[in-house]
Amino acid sequence: MAKSKVLIIYTGGTIGMIRDEKKGTLKPFRLNRMTKSIPSILELGIEIHAMELEKIIDSSNMTPSVWIELAGIIGDQYENFDGFVVLHGSDTMAYTASALSFLLENLGKPVVLTGSQLPIGLPRTDARENLITALEIASMKDMEGRSLIPEVCIYFEDQLYRGNRTYKFNSENFDAFLSSNYPVLAEAGVNIEVFTHRLLPHKEEKLVVRKTLSDKVALIQLFPGLNLEPYVEMFLTTEIEMVILETYGSGNGPTDQTFLTAIRMLIENNVQVLNVTQCRQGHVEMGKYEASSDLAGLGVLSGDDITTEAALTKAMYILACTKDKKERAQLMQESLRGEMGA
């Protein structure tokens, strides 16, 4: 079997940071110095190429335009490589992984996002293991010579997660990510064990790269005493088309008329509302309690067990794909890239 070819795309983040001695802060440095820090990469038996974004950024400065740029790079290089490793800051990595999963339709090769909690030049860094294993995973092929993992993933601290199921939960430990509603795709110990029955099926269709995302999406997290009226006015003025509503428990919200009237006003003015739970584990069950029955009656959509990160990026994608409200509602409530459901 021919040697696998993997492209590293460096966006920025802690994995490539050095300390600015004058300011005492961390700043990104160029990729060639990073690869020199891990000479063992050359022993993996993989043909590795590397490139970086024209503008290296801290992941806190991530934007949808960068997601589109990344998807475009992968699309342009898709036929030249067996897999891709995206080096990315951990703070917004789950958003980027989710966005790429929607922008890359019919993906048949691995796109593995990874990073680190400590810069690559520090003695105790987690960057070396994360990068080396991400490269190995991206290079894997099945018995037929196809790329083994046909989806967007996050690899961190021995675990490979489906990207659009993942969220950052820890800023201090090396195991920074979790996927509470879907099991890991692979575990790296002495060997890398891939749970192939958990992977998305290979697509026979040609890769399609979407190049637009809508910015007409907003997020509201419920809290006791929330006054929705100012939000409604702002959303209608700015022509927001979909609101992600983070509710309590299994999708519950207040039953008082002031709150329900605000939701009704949004929906009557063609703003669709998606119900996702603030709980990181579990799912929305519209109508299970009285506190969610009223929302269901108003036409609020169910987000099932989708993460907030995936819900936001999926909404940006769906709103850019179609103007039809019924189609939008249908697509938001079904799994497109394994982002929701069993």
* pTM recorded for the entire structure: 0.93
Phi, psi of 142 (to 5 degrees): -90, -175
Is 30 a residue whose pLDDT tops 60?
A: no
Instruction: Please give the pLDDT value at position 152.
Output: 98
Instruction: Please give the pLDDT value at position 259.
Output: 95
R_g of the chain, CA atoms, integer Å: 21
Specify the amino acid at residue 146.
R
Is 42 a residue whose pLDDT tops 90?
A: no
Instruction: For 291-300, write each residue's pLDDT tens digit.
Output: 789 999 999 9
| CA distance linking residue 277 with residue 285, whole number of Å | 10
Is 215 a residue whose pLDDT tops 80?
A: yes
3-state SS, residue 101: helix
Instruction: Please give the pLDDT value at position 304.
Output: 96
Q: Of 7 and 12, which is predicted with more confidence?
A: 7
Instruction: Please give the pLDDT value at position 31.
Output: 58
Tell me if 88 sits within 8 A of 100, measured CB to CB.
no
- Which stretch of 16-20, 46-50, 174-178, 272-276 has the lowest confidence by average pLDDT? 16-20
Pairing of strands 83-87, 111-114: parallel
Domain with CATH 3.40.50.40 in the chain: 217-332
Strand order in the sheet with 301-302: 217-221, 242-247, 272-277, 301-302
Q: Which fold has domain 5-209?
A: Rossmann fold (3.40.50)
| CA distance linking residue 287 with residue 209, whole number of Å | 37
Is 27 a residue whose pLDDT tops 80?
A: no
In the Cβ-directed half-sphere of 163, how many Cα atoms lie within 13 Å? 31
Q: What is the pLDDT averaged over residues 82-102?
A: 96
Residue 14 catalytic? Answer: yes
3-state SS, residue 275: strand
Burial of 204 (0-12, 13-18, 19+ CB in 10 A): exposed
With residue 18 as reference, give the H or E element that holds it: strand 17-20
Q: What is the pLDDT averaged over residues 37-61?
A: 84
**Selection from 11, 14, 73 nearest residue 207 by Cα:** 73
Is 203 a residue whose pLDDT tops 90?
A: no
Q: Of 19 and 285, which is predicted with more confidence?
A: 285
Tell me if 265 sits within 8 A of 301, measured CB to CB.
no
The catalytic position among 11, 14, 166, 277 is: 14
**Selection from 143, 152, 142 nearest residue 109 by Cα:** 152
Instruction: For 118-175, write each residue's pLDDT tens digit.
Output: 777 677 778 788 999 999 999 999 988 899 999 999 999 899 999 999 999 887 777 7
Residue percentage of the chain with pLDDT more than 90: 73
Tell me if 34 sits within 8 A of 85, measured CB to CB.
no
Domain with CATH 3.40.50.1170 in the chain: 5-209
Is 188 a residue whose pLDDT tops 90?
A: yes
With residue 187 as reference, give the H or E element that holds it: strand 186-188
Provide the β-strand partners of residue 247.
277
- Which stretch of 11-25, 115-129, 261-275 has the lowest confidence by average pLDDT? 11-25
Architecture of the CATH domain 217-332: 3-Layer(aba) Sandwich (3.40)
Tell me if 284 sits within 8 A of 304, measured CB to CB.
yes
